[in-house]
Amino acid sequence: MKALESWGRYPRVEQRTQPLVWRTDALPRPGGTLLPHGLGRSYGDSCLNEGGTLLLTSGLDRLISFDTATGVVRCEAGVTLDTLLRLAAPRGWFLPVTPGTKFVTVGGALANDVHGKNHHRGGTFGRYVRRFELVRSDGSRRVCAPDENPDWYGATIGGLGLTGLVTWAEVQLKPISNPYVLQETVPFGNLDEFLVVARESETDYEFTMAWVDCLARGKKLGRGLLYRGNFAPPQFDGLPLAKSHLSHGSGLAVPMDMPAFCLNRLSVSAFNWLYYHRQNGKPKQRLTHYDPFFYPLDAIYGWNRIYGKRGFLQFQCVVPYTTARDALAEILERSSRGGLPSFLSVLKTFGDLPSPGWMSFPRQGVTLAMDFANRGEKTWRLVEELDKVTREAGGAVYPAKDARMSPESFAAYFPRREEFSRYLDPAFSSSFWRRVNPVALPFSLESERGPAASRPQSLLAIR
């Protein structure tokens, strides 16, 4: 047993690991439950399996085929988006959907049905998964596609790794004319302005997302900067290219766990103020390489360590347009009032393109993501309140970013979970799944987990 943590560094749980090497190998059966694990870029406990075994997919990192005429790539599930970009971008193809880091695996992107800055145009990653192979603990292997085992296809996309192991997948890439993005930054003074400019931007821009100054209050509540962009046209002469944008990654690294006092209200508000005012109120255009545009955080390796040893909780919700204004105002209010600054807060609109995945998180409306340093009880209480607001607004919280939602919330957010449960692999489970389904356990929890001391006792009380 090893202590392992996910990207949010909370919780830290004991489990075994088993590296996978070949896609044709049978699933290992070490006893206890299994869970596939990509690069652990999920924040909470959905990629952890306390007391069980993580099947490490990083050895399944082979490419199978790439058709440069059609942009269809087939690869093993542990291949990273970074590898796909290095293969495809020089040949005029790009990921159809990408999350804010390229250090995730194809299997992980499929199992969380990730979204990107283009959700309003392109929907989720799952829409571009043409087919994949699913291996179950009974030894069966099925190819799943929209017209081949469609039920397994729908259950496994967004299926949180619980329906079995995906060994390989085939993804439809999209053509680009060059690796540069023409980006515009537009300041907005408050939440209402955001809603207007975000909706307006959707028609002309493929990519949109906004940074919010989550400490601004009153009339300035929800002010921030909206980034919008399109891949640049084949000719972009005349616009100067910064040298730094021609290369990849700055190679900066966070050298150690930062002490908790580095991230206090004062430092966060100073940072936010400077960041917002750098823009001096006017839209700004520039040409940028796709790398800093899509993956600004990847340039600082191990940035999750700035939150120190106790880690952080991320909270990402989506709320429908009908309730968005009030719910988001309430959420921003509460977090700024709570005196627990979120260092990075991001707003984005989701369109109405459906996902093939039954358990997919994105749905039409506005999504807000916030990071909160884990200060124990206080933080938990705040995030639980935000969850409540989300629930009442008819929204949902993203399992990939969660370490604490209650079983009731989960049931409210994912109406197809009963249907989904019938497709669970009996040998697969996760810490997340057991947490949000405390009654319907497919096995004995006590025998696997041992003494349940690792979680703050008052958590249940908060619920």
Partner 1 sequence: MKKVLVLGATSAIAQATVRLLAARGASLYLVGRNAANLEAVAQDATTRGAAKVAAQAVDLNDFSAHEAMVDAAYTALGGLDGVVLAHGVLGDQAEAQKSWAATETVLRTNFLSAVSLLTVLANRFEAQKAGTLVVISSVAGDRGRQSNYVYGASKGALNVFLQGLRNRLAKSGVAVVTVKPGFVDTPMTAHLPKNKLFASPDKVARGLLSAADARKNEVYVPGIWALIMLIIRTIPETVFKRMKL
Q: Which helix (H) or strand (E) holds 317?
A: strand 312-319
Return the closest-CA partner of residue 323 out of 219, 394, 405.
394
Check the CA dihedral 267-270-272-274 and report its sign.
Answer: negative
List 166, 210, 215, 383, residue binding ligand FAD (CB under 6 A)? 166
Least distance (Å) between residue 346 CB and ligand FAD: 8
| Size of site (CB under 8 A) for partner 1 | 14
37-96 binders of ligand FAD (CB under 6 A) = 37-42, 46-47, 57, 77
Region for 345 from its dihedrals, namely left if φ exceeds 0, alpha if ψ lies in -120 to 50, beta otherwise: beta
List 109, 195, 226, 368, residue binding ligand FAD (CB under 6 A)? 109
Check the CA dihedral 107-115-97-143 and report its sign.
Answer: positive
Calculate Rg over the CA atoms of the chain: 21
**By the rule CB under 8 A, 64 interacts with partner 1:** yes
Which of the stretches 102-110, 229-237, 275-283, 335-343 binds ligand FAD when contact is defined by CB under 6 A?
102-110
Which of the stretches 62-70, 378-386, 431-439, 440-448 binds partner 1 when contact is defined by CB under 8 A?
62-70
Q: Which does 47 bind (CB under 5 to 8 A by kind): partner 1, ligand FAD, none?
A: ligand FAD
Q: Closest CB to ligand FAD among 116 and 154? A: 116
Q: Closest CB to partner 1 among 167 and 323? A: 167
Q: For residues 196 and 201, give the distance between their C-alpha atoms in angstroms, rounded to a whole number.
A: 9
Least distance (Å) between residue 207 CB and ligand FAD: 11
Which of the stretches 59-67, 92-100, 158-166, 438-446 binds partner 1 when contact is defined by CB under 8 A?
59-67
> What dihedral angle (degrees, nearest 10) is formed by the CA atoms of 77, 82, 85, 90?
-130
List 84, 85, 114, 436, residue binding ligand FAD (CB under 6 A)? 114
Q: Which two tokens stand for residue 198?
A: 């975000």
Q: For residues 145 and 132, give the distance between their C-alpha atoms in angstroms, rounded to a whole number.
A: 7
Q: Which helix (H) or strand (E) holds 198?
A: helix 191-204
Least distance (Å) between residue 65 CB and partner 1: 6
List 160, 221, 318, 386, residue binding ligand FAD (CB under 6 A)? 160
Residues composing the chain:
463
Q: Closest CB to ligand FAD among 83 and 190? A: 83
397 with 316: CB under 8 angstroms?
A: yes
> What dihedral angle (degrees, nearest 10) is formed by the CA atoms of 57, 60, 61, 66?
-130
Which one-letter DSSP state was computed for residue 44? S
List 5, 12, 63, 462, residue binding partner 1 (CB under 8 A)? 63
Cis (ω within 30 of 0) for the bond into 11? yes
| Size of site (CB under 6 A) for ligand FAD | 32
Question: What's the half-sphere exposure (Cβ side, CA atoms, 13 Å) at 199?
Answer: 10
Q: Closest CB to partner 1 among 63 and 300? A: 63
Q: Closest CB to ligand FAD among 57 and 288? A: 57
One symbol per residue from 394 to 433: x for binding ligand FAD (CB under 6 A), - otherwise; what is it? ------x---------------------------------
List 4, 13, 27, 35, residue binding ligand FAD (CB under 6 A)? 35
> What dihedral angle (degrees, nearest 10) is formed by the CA atoms of 402, 29, 38, 122?
-80
Angle between helices 377-392 and 321-337 (to 10 degrees): 160
Least distance (Å) between residue 255 CB and partner 1: 16
86-115 binders of partner 1 (CB under 8 A) = 87
Q: Which two tokens stand for residue 343?
A: 């260092």
Q: For residues 316 and 305, give the distance between their C-alpha atoms in angstroms, rounded to a whole number.
A: 20
171 with 106: CB under 8 angstroms?
A: yes
297-316 binders of ligand FAD (CB under 6 A) = 297
Least distance (Å) between residue 457 CB and ligand FAD: 27
Least distance (Å) between residue 75 CB and partner 1: 8
Which of the stretches 61-69, 107-115, 292-300, 450-458 binds partner 1 when contact is defined by CB under 8 A?
61-69
11-40 binders of partner 1 (CB under 8 A) = 19, 21-24
**DSSP characters over 267-284:** HHHHHHHHHHHTTTTS-E
Q: For residues 346 and 210, give the distance between their C-alpha atoms in angstroms, rounded to a whole number.
A: 6
Which residues of this protein are in contact with ligand FAD, per CB under 6 A? 7, 35-42, 46-47, 57, 77, 99-101, 104-105, 107-109, 111-112, 114-116, 160-161, 165-166, 297, 400
Which residues of this protein are in contact with partner 1, per CB under 8 A? 19, 21-24, 59, 62-66, 75-76, 87
